[in-house]
Chain A
Amino acid sequence: MAIEVRIPTILRSYTGGAKVVEGAGDTLGELLTDLDSRHGGLKGRLVTEAGALHRFVNVYVNDEDVRFLGALDAKLNDGDSITILPAVAGGAFGFAAAAAIGSHKLSTVVESGHPVPDVAR
């Protein structure tokens, strides 16, 4: 089953520049795993090591925010359209809060700290 996924500019390095890719899965989590098998590293930018959706990434199923649909457990159907947008957020903020956000930050590049497994190259 084909589900269309719109990729934001900042993540197109994982899709060879493609704005739209297709994937399959019964849930958002399964879809992201499927996409990651062809676009290695993509899932790591959207899902934390603890297995939750990053706080500062917005993912929509058709016109709905997946946070209201069960997040990674959101059920998907053939023909659904997924849109991924990095949250528009920031601010002067305090140190403690900035440090807390640091662990969720979207702009951490996978390649920067950890060796990329061969399968992801």
Chain B
Amino acid sequence: MLSIDRSIVDAIVAHARRDHPDEACGVVAGPAGSDTPTRHIPLENAARSTTFYLIDSMEHLRVWREMDDRDEEPVVIYHSHTATEAYPSRTDISLAGEPGAHYLLVSTREPDTEEIRSFRIVDGVVTEEPVRIVDAAVDPHAVQSYKFGQSPTAVDYECSGA
């Protein structure tokens, strides 16, 4: 099961809506071993495509190294499908490279409602899991959501109320 704070889910959905009809992608980092997503990092879809996402290799290195330095890991890797259901495609399954991560998919095909589902993808096997959205499990001001490059001391709390 994926437990994730509502403010982070709201920020992910806002990101997906913002980039629609292109696919949006990002990660939510959390302390290594905690299985708790705490730091939302929206990433740029370098493919700028309605049917594909790809994180630029240099942004990838910077973000992953930053997580390493902070003793974090990518607890959630998310992306949107903008015309189809929130279920991993064959491409998603083929390219899933983080066996420890929750793969969160958001479908923005309906203008008013979002479909949000989570999966484990290990060795080509997809396992859906429940998503538990937690209200105020953490102080909303402790939930950090910022573009890479902003320092944690200069955070825009764009996730709260987004």
Complex Cα gap A9–B123 (Å): 12
B89 located at the interface, meaning its Cβ lies under 8 Å from any Cβ of chain A in the complex: yes
Which residues of chain B come closer than 8 Å to A106, judged between CB atoms? Answer: 94-95, 97
Q: How many residues of B contact A (CB 8 A)?
A: 39
B61 touches A107 (CB 8 A): no
Interface centre among B53, B61, B91, B100 (most CB of A within 10 A): B91
> Could you tell me if A93 and B57 are in contact, using CB atoms closer than 8 angstroms?
no
Given A92-B51, A92-B83, A93-B52, are A105 and B95 also a contact pair (CB < 8 Å)? yes
Closest to A104 in B: B94
B158 → chain A, closest Cβ, in Å? 22
A91 with B123, Cβ < 8 A, contacts A101-B91, A107-B97 known: no
Map CB proximity to B onto A68-112 as digits: 1 under 8 Å, 0 otherwise: 000000000000000101111111111001100110011111000
A89 to B81 CA separation, bound complex (whole angstroms): 13
Near A by CB (< 8 A), chain B positions 67-116 give 77, 79, 81-84, 88-100
Q: For the complex, is B3 an interface residue (Cβ under 8 Å from A)? A: no
User: How far does the alpha carbon of A93 sit from the alpha carbon of B64 in the complex, in Å?
Assistant: 25
Question: Is the pair A105, B94 in contact by a Cβ cutoff of 8 Å?
Answer: yes
Chain B residues, Cβ within 8 Å of A97: 51-52, 91
Instruction: Check B35 for interface membership: any CB of A closer than 8 A.
Output: no
- Give the complex CA separation of A108 and B123 in angstroms: 8
Q: B55 is contacted by which of A88, A92, A108 (Cβ under 8 Å)?
A: A88
What are 25 A-to-B residue pairs whose CB atoms are below 8 Å?
A: A10-B97, A56-B97, A58-B60, A63-B61, A65-B61, A83-B65, A86-B97, A88-B97, A88-B98, A89-B52, A90-B52, A90-B53, A90-B95, A91-B23, A91-B52, A91-B53, A91-B89, A92-B84, A93-B89, A94-B51, A97-B51, A101-B94, A107-B93, A107-B94, A107-B97
